[in-house]
Amino acid sequence: MRISSKNKDINFDNYHVIEGDLDPTQRAWIEVNGIAIEKNVRQLRSRLKKNCQLMAVVKADGYGHDARVVSEYAIKGGASQLGVATLNEGIKLRSFGINAPILVLGNLYTKKDLLICFKKNLMPTISSISECLICNDIGKNHSSKFALHLKVDTGMSRLGLEPDKFIKSFNKIKAFENICIKGIYSHLASADESNAFDPKSNTQLQRKKFQELLKQINFDKNNQIKIHFANSAGMLLGEDFHFDMVRVGLSIYGYNPLAQVEDNLFLKPALYLKAKVAFIRTIETGVGVSYGSKFVSIRKTKLAVLSIGYADGILRNLSGKINVIHNKKLYPQIGSITMDQMMVDITDSNDIKIGSTMLLLGSDGDKTISPIDWANKSKTIPWEILCSFKNRLPRVQVN
Ligand X SMILES: Cc1ncc(COP(=O)(O)O)c(C=O)c1O
Closest CB to ligand X among residues 134, 191: 191
Q: Which long-range contacts (CB under 8 A, 24 or more apart) does 351-356 make?
A: 351/326, 351/327, 352/277, 352/280, 352/304, 352/326, 353/277, 353/280, 354/277, 354/278, 354/279, 354/280, 355/276, 355/277, 356/276, 356/277, 356/304, 356/326
Tell me the per-residue interface mask from 317 to 346 with ligand X, x by CB under 6 A, - otherwise.
------------------------------
Binding segment for ligand X (CB under 6 A), chosen from 229-237, 259-267, 280-288, 391-399, is 229-237
Distance CA 369, CA 359 (A): 9
Smallest distance, Å, CB 362 to ligand X? 19
Distance CA 355, CA 277 (A): 5
Closest CB to ligand X among residues 57, 152: 57
Give the single-character DSSP code of 287.
-
- Residue among 56, 209, 185 nearest 124 (CA): 185
> Where on the phi/psi map is residue 61: left (φ > 0), alpha (ψ -120 to 50), or beta?
left
Distance CA 74, CA 80 (A): 9
353 is catalytic: no
Smallest distance, Å, CB 32 to ligand X? 17
Distance CA 343, CA 365 (A): 23
272 is catalytic: no
Binding segment for ligand X (CB under 6 A), chosen from 133-141, 231-239, 328-336, 345-353, is 231-239
Distance CA 104, CA 44 (A): 22
Of the candidates 59, 182, 226, 276, the residue annotated as catalytic is: 59
Smallest distance, Å, CB 152 to ligand X? 12
Closest CB to ligand X among residues 237, 352: 237
Tell me the per-residue interface mask from 235 to 274 with ligand X, x by CB under 6 A, - otherwise.
------------xxxx------x-----------------
Closest CB to ligand X among residues 55, 69: 55
Binding segment for ligand X (CB under 6 A), chosen from 86-94, 113-121, 225-233, 279-287, is 225-233
Cβ atoms 335, 297 nearer than 8 A = no
Cβ atoms 256, 236 nearer than 8 A = yes
Distance CA 179, CA 222 (A): 17
Closest residue to ligand X, Cβ-based? 249
Closest CB to ligand X among residues 187, 226: 187
Closest CB to ligand X among residues 251, 290: 251
Task: Report the residue from 47, 149, 182, 187 that binds ligand X according to the rule CB under 6 A.
Answer: 187
Smallest distance, Å, CB 182 to ligand X? 15
Cβ atoms 148, 182 nearer than 8 A = yes
Closest CB to ligand X among residues 233, 314: 233
- Binding to ligand X in span 55-74, by CB under 6 A: 57
Of the candidates 165, 291, 328, 353, the residue annotated as catalytic is: 291
Of the chain, the end-to-end C-alpha distance in Å amounts to 15
Residue 336 class from Cβ within 10 Å (0-12 exposed, 13-18 middle, 19+ buried)?
Answer: buried
Distance CA 362, CA 271 (A): 7
Smallest distance, Å, CB 54 to ligand X? 11
Task: Report the residue from 30, 44, 105, 375 that binds ligand X according to the rule CB under 6 A.
Answer: 105
Tell me the per-residue interface mask from 140 to 169 with ligand X, x by CB under 6 A, - otherwise.
------------------------------
Residues that bind ligand X (CB under 6 A): 57, 105, 187, 231-233, 247-250, 257
Catalytic residues: 59, 291
